[in-house]
Amino acid sequence: MEEHANQAPVQPDNAKQEIGTYWDVFLEPSKCFEGLNLRPRWLVPMVLCVVIAFVTSLVIYSRVDMEHVIREQITSNPRAAQLTGEQLEQQVEMGAKFGKISALAGPVIVVPLFMFLTAGLIMLGEFILGSEVNSRDYQADGAENKPGFVRVLSISASSLFFYNVVAGILAITVVLISSEPNSLNLRNLVSTNPAFLVDANESKALYAFLSHLDILAWYTIYLIGLGISKITAKCSVVKGMVIIGFWYVLYALAHTGISALF
């Protein structure tokens, strides 16, 4: 007993405390989220996602004639037959201007808002399922005492950082190597889902539904579920995926229904 009493407490391994950088989410996501559990960080991946989204939009607009794309979208709609030539040109011009402004300025607002919204929905899902992100002892060696929402936001930002980097690189590559960029389907530029098998004009609802069967989106849901399991007591990866997956399925069904109506 005396030997155990006199033993110095085991010092935490500094190398282990420093595990988990933002880039580890690509190859070692568990390592990334364990590090975020010790030191929650969300601002850097959020800013990087904004930059990536802005650069992607910039590349697309530099290669694609948006007036041509919007004109094709409008004329493919049966209601376009009711428009006069002047009305058509006004809609094309207005759509091109609004699209460019929203694409270039939107990331600054949309990306942070989406990350905060995702974190809020995760917190709500944890509350409904009886998990508490604050229940784990964060006073462990080397851990920073941050609110539960900050930890969830860190998981959300890092997981969506993965999505934005991969989707951004693929989108930029597709646009740059395309010999006819104006013929690209900007609604499904990176075909990581089966929606490309369906004509969006003939079956809007089916197209919308299939677009949500996206490999990148569902792998990101897995990442968020894995991250939740690292910061929330009594929460497995599957339960974490259920928490965020429920909201994604709800959004997919709503999007599909709206597409069917309009």
Residue 222 phi/psi, 5-degree rounding, is -60, -45
Ranges 58-72, 152-166, 243-257: which has the least confidence: 58-72
The answer to whether 226 touches 237, Cβ cutoff 8 Å, is yes
> What count of other Cβ atoms lies within 10 Å of the Cβ of residue 149?
18
CA distance 152 to 140: 18
Give per-residue pLDDT as tens, 108-131: 999 999 999 999 999 998 888 776
Res 212: pLDDT = 95
- Local confidence band at 6 (pLDDT 50, 70, 90 cut-offs): very low
pLDDT at 136: 47
Q: Which has more pLDDT, 163 or 146? A: 163
Angle between helices 85-129 and 237-261 (to 10 degrees): 150
Rounded CA-CA distance 240/126 in Å is: 8
Looking at residues 154-168, what average pLDDT do you find? Answer: 95
The DSSP result for 75-131, as a single string, is HTSGGGGGS-HHHHHHHHHHHHHHHHHHHHHHHHHHHHHHHHHHHHHHHHHHHHHT-
Over the Cα atoms of the chain, what is R_g? Answer: 23
d(CA 152, CA 158): 10
Check whether 8 has a pLDDT greater than 50. Answer: no
State the pTM of this model: 0.83
The whole-chain average pLDDT of the chain stands at: 82
Cα(205)–Cα(80) distance, integer angstroms: 20
pLDDT per position as a tens digit, 13-55:
443 444 457 789 999 999 999 888 888 889 999 999 999 999 9
